[in-house]
Amino acid sequence: MVAALLFVPSLPLLSPGALMAPLIQEERLQRLKHRMKIYFDASRPDHQDALRALWSATYPGQELHGLISEQWKEMGWQGRDPSTDFRGAGFISLENLLFFAKTFSTSFQRLLNKQGGKRATWEYPFAVAGVNITFMIMQMLDLDSSKPRTFVRAVFIQMLSENEWAFDLLYCVAFMVMDKQWLEKNATYMEFNDVLKSTRAQLERELLMNEVLRIEDMPSYGLLY
């Protein structure tokens, strides 16, 4: 593991075209860190558009009556105004949900409608769980720390330089892992935090596997199909 990590940075020197790699890596990292700091601002037209886009990606063909509406509760928001739930993780948690809905719509719908397995009486609220997952991944990756403290962070930054969407993909994998563990544990909402913790542990294990160089290589990536 250590050897592999130490070798990767020297590879770009082998080909002149690859000399750009560290620059791209830095640029993508800065862009992602910036995304993580954006608060949801209900007065911004682009944020309003994103919220409307989330609705139509989640419930195609169903009309949304307003950015504040009872309808949002159906998706698993705590109240009529999803923006209060975004406070935990910011605008990126909306982007993550939207990415999931658009990129893996079948899996997204399956989780939204709680279609897999034997479901608990006390289910987790889908959308709020999504915000919690964004927050958990941000903590796990610890991208803002000035001193790199974990291998998981280093591995992820390498993946990000290969794929700009690495964070969003990791989010989708995390959601699938969380739902799977939820079912395996016959969990109730009281146990949501425990499930989130064991989801994080599973993601960390998979990210540190030798053969995992991209999000797509993670064993749990297969859950999305």
Ligand X SMILES: *[C@@H]1O[C@H](CO)[C@@H](O)[C@H](O)[C@H]1NC(C)=O
Told to check if 111 binds ligand X by CB under 6 A, we report no
Q: Which of 59, 135, 151, 189 binds ligand X (CB under 6 A)?
A: 135
Q: Nearest distance from residue 110's CB to ligand X, in Å?
A: 20
**197 belongs to the binding site for ligand X (CB under 6 A):** no
Going residue by residue from 85 to 104, which x/- string records binding to ligand X, judged by CB under 6 A? x-xx----------------
**Which amino acid is present at 55?**
W
Q: How far is the CB of 190 from ligand X (least distance, A)?
A: 11
Rounded Cα–Cα distance for residues 139 and 111 (Å): 23
- Alpha helices, DSSP H only, in the chain? 2-7, 21-36, 45-58, 83-86, 91-103, 105-112, 126-141, 151-162, 166-184, 192-207
Q: Helix, strand, or coil here: 104?
A: coil
List the one residue from 58, 132, 158, 199 that touches ligand X (CB under 6 A): 132
- The whole-angstrom distance between residue 122's C-alpha and the CA centroid of its chain comes to 23
Q: Which two tokens stand for residue 146?
A: 């000035």
Closest CB to ligand X: residue number? 88
Residue 139 interacts with ligand X (CB under 6 A): yes or no: no
The residue range among 38-46, 131-139, 171-179, 199-207 that interacts with ligand X, by the rule CB under 6 A, is: 131-139
Q: Give me the half-sphere count of Cα atoms (radius 13 Å) on the Cβ side of residue 146.
A: 0
Nearer to ligand X by Cβ, of 196 and 215: the residue is 196
Task: Give the span between the Cα atoms of 181 and 160, in whole angstroms.
Answer: 26
Contacts with ligand X by CB under 6 A lie at 85, 87-88, 118, 128, 131-132, 135, 185-186, 193
